[in-house]
């Protein structure tokens, strides 16, 4: 039981920290738009890569830019499509 409590505490701290520093572990509840063309993402997100499936983010339907869940442009070397 103690092991489960420790694992849960570590995950909770990771999510809280990730939200504060805006990394992949964080949770974004704010609305975002494409940093290049200001297009709002579609309501129903269809991931186009494994990274988008696991960590969030989307591909802009207007300009094709890969955007993370925080609304930041993804580095082309990090947004490899599977």
CA 7 to chain centre: 22
**pLDDT band for position 60 (50/70/90)?**
very high
Buried b (16+ CB within 10 A) or exposed e, 20-46: eeeeeebeeeeebebeeeeeebeeeee
How many angstroms separate the Cα of 21 from the Cα of each of 25, 58, 70? 9, 20, 11
3-state helix, strand, coil in the chain (%, to 5): 30, 5, 60
Mean pLDDT calculated for residue range 58-78:
85
Instruction: For residue 82, name the pLDDT band (cuts at 50, 70, 90).
Output: very low
The pTM is what? 0.72
Q: What is the number of residues in the chain?
A: 82
């Amino acid at each position: 039981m103690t092991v489960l409590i420790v694992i849960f505490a570590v995950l909770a701290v990771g999510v809280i920290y990730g939200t504060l520093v805006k990394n992949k572990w964080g949770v974004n509840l704010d609305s975002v738009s494409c940093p290049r063309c200001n297009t709002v993402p579609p309501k129903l997100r269809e991931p186009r890569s494994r990274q988008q499936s696991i960590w969030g983010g989307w591909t802009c339907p207007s300009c094709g830019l890969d955007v993370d869940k925080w609304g930041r442009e993804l580095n082309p070397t990090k947004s490899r499509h599977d």
